[in-house]
Structure 1
Amino acid sequence: MSNTPHTLQEEFPFDLEKIHQLKVSNAHFAKLLTSYDEVNDKVHRAETRLDLLTEAEEEALRRQRSQVKDEIARMLRG
């Protein structure tokens, strides 16, 4: 288990300009960014034990973060 924040800047360091362009031109993409940040914050809080969650709840959050990140990645490639 890692408690390192997984910011999108770290996840997609070579796509920062494209992320910005999509954020301002595509409402769905902008919503995905917000969703990613929200769930990522929840994962980080759980990993650092600021919020006490069961292993199953924490794993569900990680899966949700991964799904949102995968959709972001698909849109960046598209």
Structure 2
Amino acid sequence: MLGENHALFIEYPEHQDRIKELKQSDEHFKQMADRYHQLDHKIRGLEGNNIPTDDHHFTQLKLERLQLKDRIYSILSH
């Protein structure tokens, strides 16, 4: 769905406490979570406002968000 919010707390509600803890205690995790949030916000903005963008650029943004999501989940699940 276009413009859907993929915030980490929405994607991983069962890990909300762990996300908060890691954002405070692990600088690398915080940087990944912040970048994920920036990408999600940018992607939703492009989708929601029908802002013209190059397909390759848009795909790269979504791919980077997906890769970060996978890395974040790997950390959360261990």
Query: Structure 2 counterpart of 1:60, which letter?
Result: Q
Give the equivalent residue in structure 2 for 1:67.
Answer: 67
Give the equivalent residue in structure 2 for 1:30.
Answer: 30
Give the structure-1-normalised TM-score.
0.90
How many residue pairs are counted as aligned between the two chains?
A: 78
Q: What is the alpha-carbon distance in structure 1 between the residues aligned to residue 58 and residue 18 of structure 2? A: 30
Q: Which runs of 5+ in 1 are unaligned?
A: none
1:11 aligns with 2:23: no
The alpha-carbon deviation at position 2 of structure 1 amounts to 2.1
The alpha-carbon deviation at position 38 of structure 1 amounts to 0.6
Q: CA RMSD, aligned part only?
A: 1.3
The alpha-carbon deviation at position 50 of structure 1 amounts to 5.3
Query: Structure 2 counterpart of 1:42, which letter?
Result: K
Q: Which moved more, 1:1-10 or 1:30-39?
A: 1-10
Superposition misfits of 4+ residues, deviation over 6 angstroms: none
Deviations 1:37-68 (A, max 9, x none): 11111111111135321222111111010011
Give the structure-2-normalised TM-score.
0.90
